[in-house]
Amino acid sequence: MAAFSDFLNILPDPSNKIGDAGQANSSGSAGPGFASVKFTSEQPSSISRTNSGRVISRAIVGQSWKIQISYNPMTREQFEPIYAFLQEKRGRLQPFFVILPQYSTSRDSTLNRTITTNTAVSAGANHFVAAGFGSGNGELKIGDMINFNDSNNSTHKKVYQITRVLTNSDYLTGGTQPSSSQRLYYVSPQIEKAVASGQGVVYTNTKFRVIQASDVREYSLGTNNLYQFSLSLEEAQV
């Protein structure tokens, strides 16, 4: 046993095991992983229609991700560490992180490089230029999830999805042409907070900051002594 610097604040799973003291522990309890994940993007908008049939639409700031997790039937040994972790969060009161298996790595399994913002990125932008393509392997792909390791703003926890990748050879006429060591990434939703130049782009084990969608946590226990449990989460920004 040893002292540890902080309690684990990631929903326990096979890659993020938790010890009895609440610490990250590679030999601790993990549960069986997720049986299924329902993933939702909610982007509010305002829509009106004129008498002539013209549709007028306006985006409303505040996109959020919603996550529903279902588990396979669990033994008590598998179930209790997950339930205890959630109980400690006191319903919707305390946020935590979850890593979704489908977004734990890039679509490009060869991706292994350090990617950073090439210039400062303004809040509200839907794209940014990234550097780091002079060496290393692989590429970020559309559909990949990222966030920023921003040394200037530790509260920037929002997760973004790559929607377009522009390169030195494939770029929009009249737009920005990245150099051979750069990429121009379009993302959704729009970038929530300004990001300085030289900040890290995180593409592995991307963490969603969430709260439980309800203050009620319930499970079912069958005659086979297996626990049935599911979980609804909502993104929670700082």
Q: Which residue has the tokens 């979850």?
A: 98
For residue 1, the model assigns a pLDDT of 59
Is the Cβ–Cβ distance between 178 and 184 less than 8 Å? yes
User: Which has the higher per-residue pLDDT, 12 or 44?
Assistant: 12
Burial code (b: 16+ CB inside 10 Å, e: under 16) for 85-101 equals bbeebeeeeebbbbbbe
Is the Cβ–Cβ distance between 125 and 148 less than 8 Å? no
Q: Answer positive or negative: Cα dihedral of 212, 218, 224, 225.
A: positive
- In words, the CATH class of domain 1-104+206-238 is alpha beta
Q: What are the structure tokens assigned to 226, written together? A: 């297996």
User: Amino acid identity, residue 170?
Assistant: D
Q: Decide: residue 26, CB within 10 A, 0-12 exposed, 13-18 middle, 19+ buried.
A: exposed
Residue 124: closest CA among 175, 183, 61, 197 = 61
Average pLDDT of span 11-21: 91
In whole angstroms, give the CA distance from residue 144 to residue 111: 12
Q: Could you write out the three-class secondary structure of 165-230?
A: EECCCCCCCCCCCCCCCEEEEEEECCCCCCECCCCEEECCCCEEEEEECCCCCCCEECCCCCEECE
Reported as a single tens digit per residue, the pLDDT across 129-162 is 999 998 779 999 999 999 999 998 889 999 999 9
By percentage, how much of the chain surpasses pLDDT 70?
100
**Considering the chain, what is the average pLDDT of its residues?**
93
Longest CA–CA separation in the chain, Å: 73
Residues of the chain with CATH 3.30.200.190: 1-104+206-238
Reported as a single tens digit per residue, the pLDDT across 38-83 is 999 998 888 888 888 888 888 777 899 999 999 999 999 999 999 9
Q: Is pLDDT at 188 greater than 70 in this prediction?
A: yes
Q: How confident is the model at residue 238 (pLDDT cuts 50, 70, 90)?
A: confident
Q: How confident is the model at residue 28 (pLDDT cuts 50, 70, 90)?
A: confident
For residue 104, the model assigns a pLDDT of 95
In whole angstroms, give the CA distance from residue 60 to residue 54: 19
In whole angstroms, give the CA distance from residue 170 to residue 150: 28
For residue 44, the model assigns a pLDDT of 82
Peptide bond into 178 cis (omega under 30): no
Residues pairing with 68 in the sheet: 38, 232
Average pLDDT of span 91-98: 96
H-helix or E-strand containing 87? helix 76-88
Residues pairing with 85 in the sheet: none
Q: Is pLDDT at 109 greater than 90 in this prediction?
A: yes
Q: What are the structure tokens assigned to 234, written together? A: 């909502």
Fold of 106-204: Elongation Factor Tu (Ef-tu); domain 3 (2.40.30)
